Amino acid sequence: MSKQIVFHIGGWSSCGFYNKAYNVLASLSVLFPSRLRVVNHVYGSRDEYRSWLLGEDETDGFRDTFLGISKANKQTSSPFSWIEDSGSNNFVGGCDDTLDWCKSFVSPSASDAGKEKSKMKPDDFSEGHGYDYDLVVIGGGSGGLAASKEAAKFGAKVAVLDFVKPSPAGSTWGLGGTCVNVGCIPKKLMHNAALIGEILTNDVQPYGFNAPEQTEGHQWEKMRESVQNHIRGLNFNYRVTLREKNVTYLNKLGKFINPHTLEVTDKKGKVSQLTASRFVVATGGRPTTLDCEGGEHAITSDDIFSLEQSPGKTLCVGASYISLECAGFLAGLGLDTTVAVRSILLRGFDREIADKIGAHMEDHGVKFKNGVVPSKLKKASDGKITVTFSDGSSDVYDTVLTAIGRRADTEKLGVDAVGVKTNPKNGKIICTDEQTSVNNIYAIGDVMEGCPELTPVAIQAGKMLARRLFDGSDEPMDYQNICTTVFTPLEYGVVGLSEEDAKQVIGCGSKIEVYHSNFTPLEWSLSEHRQKHPAFCKVIVCKEDDKVLGMHYLGPHAGEVTQGFGVAMKKGMTYNELTNTVGIHPTSAETFTDLTVTKSSGESADSKGC
């Protein structure tokens, strides 16, 4: 389902080079009409052609629309080729370049024929620019560290600034950004603690072990210490790696003064300036705080993983990734846990799966208060917080954890003042191929409008941008079919479209087929308590071309199961290819290779064993 390429070629009718290139292109467009359309700009004579291409005095011809593309600006001969893409033109070259392009278009090994090229505009970077650095990256999180190290690899003089502003509750942390300090890493470790607890309570006995009295005995302080020690080790490793890769690390807060100058402030409040030819903004986001009376008594994900003591009875506000993941591990550690759901669980995800996650969490000890938001928080002298909800009900909690989304960290960055366009609703920076509205300022990761807020996305975008800036690459970041996993107690891995989105994209339900299976992973089969909520696989297929549109997996090790299928999805896997793949037995992932029951058949999705 790749987009049709609109290929333009200009030349004069009796030019041999033009004719050679045009004939090959024309043949390809006949062979692959859905993939290629050729627009011919042919002129009767060499003079007419040159007058179109170069204009009067070689100044105002068509070629001038490629301002800043030096290869295009130097080209005077015939043919002159370019690809039209979403309103902009990407220069290809002359005869040889056009023939090379044709070869890659048909070559099966170069499946990147027809791949989009980056639409980044020239930013006036030159070797002798005279600034302090070639590149300054603002933000040493997942994206910023990746971009700075990759740029330094190509010989660029790079500095990365990272400065952590304390959360409203006073938490701070070290180098590495959200993922390492207050995101993926502590979250997954605490999720794992809860999974270990579940195994100890419910699974070990049939395997011949005695179940210890572990949940009541869980020591938050011990877990916190181990997790925080691990994080400190990672913080240290990041510093060492930056030094090894010749990236200057500055523990300073940056703010733009002009497009090439930052004002930087260190921990002691000392202010100085630094200049760079190019900047990458990678400042990520921070949790949105609760906007109601007493909202300041709530903590966020910036605080939960470093709490000195167990959070106790906890209310999690919000019903997406962060709230449900935290509620899942808190309940798994034996804490009284409630989730306040404003509307639905996991907006944007497959509804059938979201419902299954909710039902499983409820049986797992999580209470849900549906259709409510907190309207008032009141903290007593003993630290307990009385929460009044929008439906008039109230309850008392030891901790209120707000997880209602995140806002880009751009408020005091000065980007608007230097002309970088942002979305006023969320502070995110608007970009085309990670380039902002100011050509020498780029943005990656959570701070960029439209970027999925995921660590590997920030890393990949950072690396690819660095390659385009310092290694001549023109490959844009591909934001399609990105796998993700929600680490709820029953983990959920997904790549591609939800059933609802697939129906929308394809036009109607009858054009898709849904294959599904409920099954019990072998490792669960000896445990009584696991039988109520089986694991689940679902694959959504486009009937017209057999392409897999979405894969969904609910069960153990969801991240590990989903990752590999992500590669296949990127390569455009069909249902036939999936089911022709030999499975690995006995695993959960093999269920995907053996999906035959369709939803439309009305047959039971329950697996009949191996």
- Helix, strand, coil percent values for the chain (each to nearest 5): 35, 25, 40
Of ligand FAD, ligand NDP, none, which one sits near residue 388, judging by CB under 5 to 8 A according to partner kind?
A: none
Cβ closer to ligand NDP: 278 or 406? Answer: 406
What is the smallest separation between the CB atom of 204 and ligand NDP, expressed in angstroms? 27
Q: Could you give phi then psi for residue 257, rounded to 5 degrees?
A: -105, -40
Interface pick for ligand FAD out of 75, 261, 283, 320 (rule CB under 6 A)? 283
| # binding residues, ligand FAD (CB under 6 A) | 35
Interface residues with ligand NDP (CB under 6 A) are: 317-323, 325, 342-344, 347, 373, 403-406, 452-454, 484-487
Interface pick for ligand FAD out of 26, 184, 292, 430 (rule CB under 6 A)? 184
DSSP state string for 440-473 = TEEE-GGGBTT--S-HHHHHHHHHHHHHHHHS--
Cβ closer to ligand NDP: 250 or 404? Answer: 404
What is the smallest separation between the CB atom of 475 and ligand FAD, expressed in angstroms? 20
Of ligand NDP, ligand FAD, none, which one sits near residue 405, judging by CB under 5 to 8 A according to partner kind?
A: ligand NDP
What is the smallest separation between the CB atom of 283 and ligand FAD, expressed in angstroms? 3
Rg for the chain (alpha carbons), in Å? 28
Q: Is 250 helix (H, G, I), strand (E, B) or coil?
A: strand
Give the CB-nearest residue to ligand FAD: 141
Asked if 36 interacts with ligand FAD (CB under 6 A), we say no
Sign of CA dihedral 13, 16, 19, 25: negative
Of ligand NDP, ligand FAD, none, which one sits near residue 366, judging by CB under 5 to 8 A according to partner kind?
A: none
Of ligand NDP, ligand FAD, none, which one sits near residue 320, judging by CB under 5 to 8 A according to partner kind?
A: ligand NDP
Sign of CA dihedral 397, 399, 401, 402: positive
Q: Distances in Å between the alpha carbon of 439 and those of 119, 123, 410?
A: 12, 5, 18
Interface pick for ligand FAD out of 79, 93, 254, 334 (rule CB under 6 A)? 254
Of ligand FAD, ligand NDP, none, which one sits near residue 311, judging by CB under 5 to 8 A according to partner kind?
A: none
Cβ closer to ligand FAD: 413 or 514? Answer: 413
What is the smallest separation between the CB atom of 53 and ligand FAD, expressed in angstroms? 43
Sign of CA dihedral 563, 568, 571, 572: negative
Helices (H) and strands (E) in the chain, counts: 15, 25
List b or e across 83-113, with b for residues whose CB sees 16 or more CB atoms inside 10 angstroms: beeeeebbbbbbbebbbebbeebeeeeeeeb
Region near ligand FAD per CB under 6 A, out of 107-115, 156-164, 332-340, 492-500: 156-164
Token reading at 343: 């509307």
State the catalytic residues: 585
Interface pick for ligand FAD out of 253, 280, 466, 561 (rule CB under 6 A)? 253
Instruction: Tell how strand 512-519 and strand 492-496 pair up.
Output: unpaired
What is the smallest separation between the CB atom of 190 and ligand FAD, expressed in angstroms? 10
Asked if 397 interacts with ligand FAD (CB under 6 A), we say no
How far apart, in whole angstroms, are the C-alpha atoms of residue 41 and residue 37?
A: 13
Cβ closer to ligand FAD: 162 or 203? Answer: 162
DSSP secondary structure letter of residue 570: H
Token reading at 556: 């153990």
Region near ligand FAD per CB under 6 A, out of 38-46, 178-186, 327-335, 575-583: 178-186
Region near ligand FAD per CB under 6 A, out of 110-118, 183-191, 492-500, 602-610: 183-191
Of ligand FAD, ligand NDP, none, which one sits near residue 561, judging by CB under 5 to 8 A according to partner kind?
A: none
Show the CA angle centred on residue 575, arms to residues 573 and 576, nearest 5°.
Answer: 100
Asked if 328 interacts with ligand FAD (CB under 6 A), we say no
Closest CA to 244 of 148, 173, 161, 175: 148
List b or e across 564-597, with b for residues whose CB sees 16 or more CB atoms inside 10 angstroms: ebbebbeeebebeebeeeeeeeebbbbbbebbeb
Edge-to-edge order in the sheet of strand 88-93: 36-43, 5-12, 80-85, 88-93
Interface pick for ligand FAD out of 139, 197, 358, 374 (rule CB under 6 A)? 139
Residues making contact with ligand FAD (CB under 6 A):
138-144, 161-164, 177-179, 183-184, 187-188, 253-254, 282-284, 301, 322, 409, 413, 445-447, 453-456, 458
